[in-house]
Amino acid sequence: MSRIAYVNGRYLPHGRAGVHIEDRGFQFADAVYEVCEVKDGLLVDEGRHLQRLTRSLSEIRMAEPRHPAALGAILREVVRRNRVRNGIVYLQVTRGVAPRNHPFPNPEVAPGLIVTARSINPAEGRERARTGIAVITTPDNRWERVDIKSVGLLPNVLAKQKAREAGAFGAWFIDENDYITEGSSTNAWIVTGEGVLVTRPADHSILRGVTRMVVLETAEDLGMTVEERRFTLAEVRSGREAFITASSTLVMPVVKVDGETLGDGLPGPVATQLRSVFHDHADYGRNWASLTK
Ligand code: PLP
């Protein structure tokens, strides 16, 4: 079956879908994006993803290209046309097409809007979660507004490649004070020796992961002790567990950091439990309109 992409109002064969060479997303990374999990053909946490998109757009001083309910309808249509049962849907909004010049186009031009979707076999994630993953650490060399979900991801790309070359699944960024910020496309968590679940506060130094937010609520519902505070690599090493969260990986146990095995080298019970109950706590199957009624 051929894939379909949504590009600026049209549904096109994926292989022939393209944007203009002077699209500001292409020229300057002047664009923001969202990735939403698709489970059983339904969008997971669509409302929160679209709320975060609204925030990212406002931080880069862009208007919403469509009402969030209309965006949700396009996301679902792309999922439907691509017959994605399980996978991800990707949305990107750019500041549009204009002669290459750094300031915003004046007068304003129409924003660019693209949506794609692809299937992911859920068995792959399950298998990875059964064994746990390895991560490496690398200095956080990103700009100071990574809470904006911008498509400017070159440091993330280089970090992930470094991880792959080291035989690891992902990379964790470390700030100038030796605290972990987050993964190159995930949020980072530990369970301390005392059993406290810790993740970095959602300031400007991390992306406010939707999965992170749902996991925080889930952990509190389960009566776990949770602290939103910074943590160091030393705490990762002395802790009971570590894991990452993202829409594409869900809760994924980390069993090795910089080549060093954590604890007994097996996924821990907290990460495993949070992964298994995650979808009971996510807004799974509801859409933006139902969330805002
Ligand atoms: N941190 C970064 C840098 C990311 O790129 C992502 C997801 O792409 C996340 C965290 C996790 O966010 P979410 O749970 O909303 O997918």
* pLDDT tens for the 293 residues of the chain, in order: 799 999 999 999 999 999 999 999 999 999 999 999 999 999 999 999 999 999 999 999 999 999 999 999 999 999 999 999 999 999 999 999 999 999 999 999 999 999 999 999 999 999 999 999 999 999 999 999 999 999 999 999 999 999 999 999 999 999 999 999 999 999 999 999 999 999 999 999 999 999 999 999 999 999 999 999 999 999 999 999 999 999 999 999 999 999 999 999 999 999 999 999 999 989 876 544 444 43
Q: What is the pLDDT of residue 292?
A: 44
149 is a catalytic site residue: yes
Element (H, E) at 7: strand 4-7
Is 0.75 topped by the overall pTM?
yes
Q: Ligand 1 centre and the CA of 150: distance in Å?
A: 11
Q: What is the C-alpha to C-alpha distance for residues 83 and 47, in angstroms, rounded to an integer?
A: 21
Ligand 1 pocket test, pick from 32, 145, 151, 187 with the greatest ligand atom count within 8 Å of Cβ, gives 187
Cα dihedral value 71, 76, 81, 87, nearest 10: 110
Task: Supply the residue whose CA is at minimum distance from atom 5 of ligand 1.
Answer: 185
Q: Ligand 1 centre and the CA of 183: distance in Å?
A: 8
The ligand 1 atom at the shortest distance from the C-alpha of residue 211 is 14
Q: What is the pLDDT of residue 207?
A: 98
Ligand 1 pocket test, pick from 186, 212, 214 with the greatest ligand atom count within 8 Å of Cβ, gives 186
Protein residues with CB under 6 Å of any ligand 1 atom: 35, 182, 185-187, 207, 209-212, 245-247
Query: Could you identify the residue written with the tokens 């776990």?
Result: 224
Q: Ligand 1 centre and the CA of 184: distance in Å?
A: 8
| Annotated catalytic residue within 149, 162, 256, 293 | 149
Phi and psi at residue 78, in whole multiples of 5°?
-65, -40
On the CB side of 257, how many CA atoms lie within 13 Å of its CA? 26
Category of 170 on φ-ψ map: left (φ > 0), alpha (ψ -120 to 50) or beta: beta
The ligand 1 atom at the shortest distance from the C-alpha of residue 207 is 1
Q: What is the pLDDT of residue 285?
A: 64
Q: Ligand 1 centre and the CA of 188: distance in Å?
A: 10
Q: What is the pLDDT of residue 286?
A: 55
